[in-house]
Structure 1
Amino acid sequence: MTRAARQAPSPRRSAGPSRRKQREPRAHWVLLLLTLVVAATALLFGGYGRHEIAATDPPSGACEKAPANLFTGGPVISMDPKTGGVSASRMPAGTVALTYDGGPDPAWTPRLLDVLKKHHAKATFFLTGTDAAAHPDLVRRIRDEGHQIGSHTYSDADLAGLSAPRTGLELALTQNVLAGSAGVGTHLLRLPHTSTTAKLCDDQWQAARDAIVDGYVVVAADGPGRGLKDGAVRQFTGSAAAVRDTERIFASPLGDVRFTTVGEGLGLSGATYPVSTFAEVRGTAVVWAQAASRAFVGAMTWLMVAAGVITVARLVLLLTVARVHVRRVRKKRRRGHRPPPVTEPVTVIVPAYNEEAGIEATLRSLLASTHAYVQIIVVDDGSSDRTFEIAESVHAWDPRVMVVRQENAGKAAALNTGLSWAQFDLVVMIDGDTVFEPDAIARLIQPFADPRVGAVSGNTKVGNRHGVLGRWQHLEYVIGFNLDRRMFDVLECMPTVPGAIGAFRREALAGVGGVSEDTLAEDTDLTMALCRAGWRVVYEESAIAWTEVPASVQQLWKQRYRWCYGTLQAMWKHRRAPVEGGQAGKFGRRGLMYLLVFQMLLPLLAPLVDVFALYGLLFQDAGQAGAVWLGFTAVQVFGAVYALRLDKERFEPLWTLPLQIFVYRQLMYLVVVHSVVTALLGNRLRWQRMQRTGTATQTLETPARQPA
């Protein structure tokens, strides 16, 4: 056959994938970055509100010596407007100010308010901003029942140990929350972790003085030695104990004692005041922001738990079903269970676009096949390098190779061109950089002894696995892809026969109209179409082909971006499969749902979960977070060991697995997010092609597999 006769007609260019470069919009990157920023901000604000970020503890040492000339005049300290100095005040005789620190809390605050209401007493509540934002209804009840509201800072932080900006933030946020929840502001402040003025350390006194200069009235408490009839400020820490202690006070003989607020008892007009509409709106925004951040943190906690449970359940399912698959394979290989061998001739189609680096090795491996007769069709899809010439040179010394040339139209069109030249009923489709083991074709077609089988997936292995990136992809192929294929085989829901090594019946291909050009993942689209047409698609682990994987992060991103986007296209195209009957419904309800949950939804949530995990490690219980991570890694390592053992691979690459969890997996998650955002924005993804280097045979030259 002359070269002119093997020149394919110019195919019609489809609206599907092509190799033409298009300008890719950047809106998806902006949306992704904005999502991560919002999530991180919500976590930080939520953590701040939960006292988890830079929380402070009470002073560890006793403050026995007060600063010089510290007040003997009383526990309420304010600025003297006449002298500009600091003055101290004490409650008049027979007047008691009951004060409560912290809260409001839905458990004890309503009970305390009921007790005060029963005894017609008024009190002063020094509220924590985070709790006030969480329970604004209780803040309003405190206000409506005539009690006074003071500030206890936003996060119960010891102001003595804070910088000036952090102190200002603590006080300002509390004022905003009070304005948003009850429409009030306050000049009253109680420093957290302090009681009487005599217990103020030097740095605490400095914090108190700074607050007084800013217009606050700092309220401490009288010591227990001062009787109620003498006039006193009593301090209680908000809790059930505060309720009991308050009831005990009212139950004791009191005589002519009046219980009132700090402001009313000392005649401090404007201690609590109404705020402007603008301040109220601003405060409402702060309250809503904290509510949203709390809800986000709570949701992320549950999502993290759910993701962990689902991930472990998936691994258990994969390992269990893989064991079932192994038993089935062993049973078939026993004497008496083997069907007659399939020895029919095979057509191998090799679509090639700029594959000069590896096309010769690919063809030589096919020609070395132990199968009786193989027709090899190389479809040069408009290559601009020496792919066509190299393939022609191989044809010159072995006529089993046919070379067909066409204008560039994409891989799917090249495969269809090859089908039009195919002579035999069994067709093997491979990539132009794939190297077959000698017995791969013979083993790959054996499942066709079952007339229900329409396609067979082979076992793709990474050839260039010597770098860290190569090892990571090697682990992914063995642990992820091949374990998944074992499960899909057992559950009869295989979604993808890989383009690197797959076999098909021509009858099945003709029934679905050949290879569709609708998506960028033509192999996934074709496999799903075969499943919906009622054909069984199986996995043959003993049919091994070696492929070249990307050697750089940029090339890896391009490849996986195209895979993921194409898979999304195929899933959308076959979205009706779950409601169909027979083999189509089985594939839809099992295969499509699995892809949706584990390859789309879980990766979409994974970056947020990882941010939350890092947040927990840095700002919560680091030991607990570390233990969870170690447990998760141990489970992953166990699964990896089992998967490598099934594929008869060495365990040496396992040392890269923990680092893979931190780096490689995050990259794959972002690829999924990128693809989904691109699809949601309606952008058309251009063809992403990997630059070949001809390194698929590296592992063949230095075998990495254990002996069978």
Structure 2
Amino acid sequence: MKGRHKQSRDPKGHWLILILVLPVMFAVLLFEGWTTHEVDAATTRSPCTSPAPDAVARGGPVIGINAGGIQTASMPARTVALTFDGGPDPVWTPRLLDLLRQYNARATFFLYGSQAARHPELVRRIRAEGHEIGSNTYTGAVLGEASSARFSAELDLTRAALAGAAGLHPNLLRMPRITTPDTLCGREWRAARQAAGRGYVLVTADRASRKPAQGLVRQFSQTSIAYQQTRSLLRNPDVDRFTTVSAGLRLVPYTPATTGERWQGTALIQVTKLGRAFVSAMTWTLAIAGGLGLLRLALLGLFARAHVRRLESSRPGAPWLPEVTEPVTVLVPAYNEEAGIESTLLSLLASTHRQLQIIVIDDGSTDRTADIAESVGDRRVEVVRQANAGKAAALNTGLAHARYDIIVMVDADTVFEPDAVRRIVQPLAHPAVGAVSGNAKVGNRRGLLAKWQHLEYVFGFNLDRRMFEVLECMPTVPGAIGAFRRDALESVGGVSEDTLAEDTDLTMALWRAGWRVLYEESAVAWTEVPTSLGQLWRQRYRWCYGTIQAMWKHRGAVLARGVAGRFGRRGLTYIALFQVALPLLAPVIDVFALYGVLFLDPWLSAGVWLGFMGSQLVSARYALTLDGERLRTLWSMPLQFFVYRQLMYLVVIQSLVALFLGSRLKWHRMRRSGTAAEQIGGGAPYKSLPTR
């Protein structure tokens, strides 16, 4: 196991996936939001500042502008051009087509490009049944109010969508919010001239005073009311012919799209489908993630309260059981821990549990770790040196040198409270208990990153442990502070080297062997946490990667009976849902909150997000109260939502991708500063402790 402590190159595959996938998905989401929710204003008309030209206002509803000037036209007598705006609508377009077929009538459908991209099969049906297709812009934006970029996009994207759906370029345009020719006034007239410059013939509608017998262009939307009005008009005896605008005036309705344009249009349709599917998936994911998040908070609160009531009554290790006073062997695996090893040892030597054998296993350190441990000068401290083989191997070496039947495992950067050893071994009075988790707290809390980890330890880890004990499914006895029966350790073959989370792997193995695992929150130890994002990333990456490895290794517990089965079905299911699946889904809450602010109701979206954050604050406050911690740290929690949470999400993503790619992760060691005891008396009080 040489080089286990050396840093390895992180797998690059996950970054490649993120670089390729995330920008594409973000662009698709933005495009879907823009086309669906009409961002960039252009939804209402400004009052006209100048009237439409007389040739337009007094002319017919079909308007052309070319080198010869303005030309207008009207339908011949007893001829009606039925026109339908918007759509294609999946409900009313098929009904209108069926109605027109019943009366052997033809019509002109002015389509939204966005709807055409969503329902290309309806576009093809409209054309196949002999009807005409025109442009109604892409999203129905008011062209007179649109920016130049929006103006071009509205027309060009519609051309692309219709090219992909039906292989055509429309020559007819109906500008949204335009009815009769005189409504082409002010800014709308300027937009009309720009559209005509692109080759479009503008189609409005005749005034209400014009009769069908005179010939007219009739404008409908695609609604139930329009359906009834269309059916009534189709029965009018004064009309001989219901036709399209182009057929009635002998115009060219469209031009064929080129092969390249059809490919572009097909790509647009596929992007639109992808966007709709993505938004739909995000909506469902948001519901699932939000539900899981709230369920987790409810479960934590419920079982934390149950844990408190349980402590007030009885449980293994309660006063009615005999006090454990047996001697204890403390194992301290260490690799390059010269900054904190002395504080760790002195805190153990100050323990109120006097009968101790403290074994420091120096795992091939290249610094003064072993020398400092030997210089403590207490006969209870033994130093065992070995070649670098990893933490699991170091613990097994220490176990081989242990003289006593109760084993306490300690990280070399951890400082114990004086009564921590005595308290953590008390639950072992019950013969069914094989291991006990202590209460690891953050010692170096200076700086925002350390405060966030302090909140995570109290709110996440320790609140979880209270629930795990009530449900009898504690998945991890942390390496920082844990107590074990020696025969329990031997029954599972010692500490396994199969995973990077040797503490989780060991705990799960104990459950599968039939042992119970408890949590003793009064056994407090102070540990040093990473002080930089890089160190935090490497530490959590190893934790997450190793936990998933351990879950897979012990997946058989789900189908087991008795103690092992309860652990598997409860503990493994909880980890899979709330420590793997939920972090993968949780970014959707943030992304969809941003999507909602940009494209939906910003106040509602912000309210939902703030409500979710508020529920976490309430739960964190409860956790801090249970742990006897000051509440003032809560001020930093809202900031945690913008950096820390995202980092934890990426850790889970990276771990899963690394596993799927078959990458093998080696140990990532954190650089220590020896500040784990900052919260005890304001410094490292054990430096001046006299030796015995």
Task: Tell me the equivalent position of 1:265.
Answer: 248
Contact 2:358 2:381 in 1 (8 A): yes
Of 302, 318, 325 in structure 1, the residue corresponding to residue 300 of structure 2 is: 318
Does residue 678 in structure 1 map to residue 654 in structure 2? no
Contact 2:80 2:239 in 1 (8 A): no
Letter paired with 1:104: P
1:366-420 residue CA offsets vs partner (Å, 9 max, x unmatched):
00100131110111111122211211110x2x11011111121111111111111
Of 36, 39, 42 in structure 2, the residue corresponding to residue 50 of structure 1 is: 36
> How far apart are residue 652 of structure 1 and its match?
0.4
**Cα 1:63/1:117, change in 2 over 3 Å:** farther
Of 205, 214, 222 in structure 1, the residue corresponding to residue 206 of structure 2 is: 222
Of 122, 133, 149 in structure 2, the residue corresponding to residue 165 of structure 1 is: 149
Does residue 179 in structure 1 map to residue 179 in structure 2? no
1:110-147 residue CA offsets vs partner (Å, 9 max, x unmatched):
22222222222211110111222222222222212211
Superposition TM-score, scaled by structure 2 size = 0.95
Contact 2:596 2:605 in 1 (8 A): yes
Task: Tell me the equivalent position of 1:373.
Answer: 355
Superposition TM-score, scaled by structure 1 size = 0.93
Does residue 360 in structure 1 map to residue 342 in structure 2? yes
Does residue 66 in structure 1 map to residue 48 in structure 2? no
Q: How does 1:511-550 map to 2 (within 5 A)?
A: 511-550=491-530
Q: Distance in 2 between matches of 1:79 and 1:277?
A: 29
- 274-283 or 139-148, larger mean C-alpha shift: 274-283
Q: Distance in 1 between matches of 2:509 and 2:18?
A: 32
Q: Distance in 2 between matches of 1:673 and 1:339?
A: 45
Task: Tell me the equivalent position of 2:19.
Answer: 33
Q: How does 1:216-365 map to 2 (within 5 A)?
A: 216-251=200-235, 253-269=236-252, 271-332=253-314, 338-365=320-347
SS at match of 1:209: helix
**Cα 1:439/1:462, change in 2 over 3 Å:** same
1:515-545 residue CA offsets vs partner (Å, 9 max, x unmatched):
1112111111111111111111111111000
1:606-658 residue CA offsets vs partner (Å, 9 max, x unmatched):
23442222111222110001110121122111111111111111110111111
Q: How does 1:118-129 map to 2 (within 5 A)?
A: 118-129=102-113
Contact 1:112 1:243 in 2 (8 A): yes
Task: Tell me the equivalent position of 1:663.
Answer: 643
Task: Tell me the equivalent position of 2:473.
Answer: 493
Contact 1:463 1:697 in 2 (8 A): yes
- 680-689 or 480-489, larger mean C-alpha shift: 680-689
Contact 1:100 1:126 in 2 (8 A): yes
Q: Distance in 2 between matches of 1:333 and 1:502?
A: 18
Task: Tell me the equivalent position of 2:674.
Answer: 694
Letter paired with 1:56: A
Q: Distance in 1 between matches of 2:440 and 2:510?
A: 21
SS at match of 2:439: strand
Task: Tell me the equivalent position of 1:560.
Answer: 540
**Cα 1:298/1:336, change in 2 over 3 Å:** closer
Measured on the aligned residues, the alpha-carbon RMSD in Å equals 2.0
> How far apart are residue 285 of structure 1 and its match?
2.5
1:167-189 residue CA offsets vs partner (Å, 9 max, x unmatched):
22222221222222233331111
> How far apart are residue 220 of structure 1 and its match?
1.3
Q: Distance in 1 between matches of 2:54 and 2:82?
A: 28
> How far apart are residue 241 of structure 1 and its match?
1.6
**Cα 1:563/1:84, change in 2 over 3 Å:** farther
Does residue 613 in structure 1 map to residue 593 in structure 2? yes
Task: Tell me the equivalent position of 1:5.
Answer: none
> How far apart are residue 513 of structure 1 and its match?
1.1
Letter paired with 1:565: Y
Does residue 141 in structure 1 map to residue 125 in structure 2? yes
Contact 1:346 1:374 in 2 (8 A): yes
Letter paired with 1:101: D
Does residue 623 in structure 1 map to residue 603 in structure 2? yes
Contact 1:348 1:375 in 2 (8 A): yes
Task: Tell me the equivalent position of 2:440.
Answer: 460
SS at match of 1:576: helix
Identity of aligned residues (%): 59
Task: Tell me the equivalent position of 1:153.
Answer: 137
- 599-608 or 339-348, larger mean C-alpha shift: 599-608
Q: How does 1:386-401 map to 2 (within 5 A)?
A: 386-394=368-376, 396=377, 398-401=378-381
Does residue 24 in structure 1 map to residue 10 in structure 2? yes
**Cα 1:378/1:184, change in 2 over 3 Å:** same
- 271-280 or 34-43, larger mean C-alpha shift: 271-280
> How far apart are residue 165 of structure 1 and its match?
2.9
Contact 1:52 1:620 in 2 (8 A): no
Q: How does 1:381-530 map to 2 (within 5 A)?
A: 381-394=363-376, 396=377, 398-530=378-510
SS at match of 1:569: helix
In structure 2, list runs of 5 or more residues that go unmatched.
684-692
SS at match of 1:259: strand
Contact 2:164 2:266 in 1 (8 A): yes
Q: Distance in 1 between matches of 2:354 and 2:675?
A: 28
Contact 1:42 1:297 in 2 (8 A): no
Contact 1:32 1:674 in 2 (8 A): no
Q: Distance in 2 between matches of 1:672 and 1:336?
A: 38
> How far apart are residue 48 of structure 1 and its match?
2.5
Does residue 636 in structure 1 map to residue 636 in structure 2? no
SS at match of 2:679: helix
